[in-house]
Amino acid sequence: MSNLKHAFNLTLFLFAVWLLLSGHYTPLMLVLGAASTLLVVFLAIRVAIIDREIQPVLLKPSVLFYWFWLAWEIIKSNLDVTRRILSPGLPISPKIFTVRAGQKTELGRVTYANSITLVPGTVTMDIDEDIFTVHALTQAAAADLERGEMNRRVCSVENVF
C-alpha cells in the first residue's frame, strides 16, 4: 500500500512538473502529458525503482512557507558575506561546531544538512547519525544555527515528506 501511495504522489508530482514546463493546456496536450506521466510511473514500477526513497514532495503550504523562510535566510546571509568580502575590515571568525538534528527521517536530516549548506557562510561538513559538523564563517552565523530555528522549521515540514 505504501508503494501505491508513493506511485500516486509521484504521478501527481511528475504531471505538475510537466504542466509547469510544457506550458501547453489544450485538451490533447493535457491527455498526452497525463499519458506520458502514467507511462513513466508504470515503467518505474515495473523496474522496481519506486520504494521508500522516492519521496515526491507536493507543494503544501508548510513546505512553501519553509522555502520562503529559507530564501529569506539565504538573501540575508548572502548580503552579510558580500559585505565582509567588500569590506575587509569586518571581522571573520570561522568556527567549526556540531549541531544535533531533530529530524526523524533520513530525508528530513538531508533537508536540514542541505539547508545549512545553502545558506552562504555555513557548510555541513560531516553527518554522523543526528550530529552534524558545521563550518561557519562568522560567530553570528554559528549562533543562528545553534539557536535551532532552522532545525525546528525542518522538523515542522518533515511530516509532509
Is pLDDT at 86 greater than 60 in this prediction?
yes
Per residue in 91-135, pLDDT (tens digit) is 899 999 999 999 998 888 999 999 999 999 999 999 999 999 999
Q: What value does the mean pLDDT take over residues 49-75?
A: 77
pTM of the full structure: 0.69
pLDDT for residue 9: 80
Per residue in 11-30, pLDDT (tens digit) is 888 899 899 998 888 999 99
Is pLDDT at 79 greater than 70 in this prediction?
yes
Q: How far is CA 9 from the centre of its chain?
A: 17
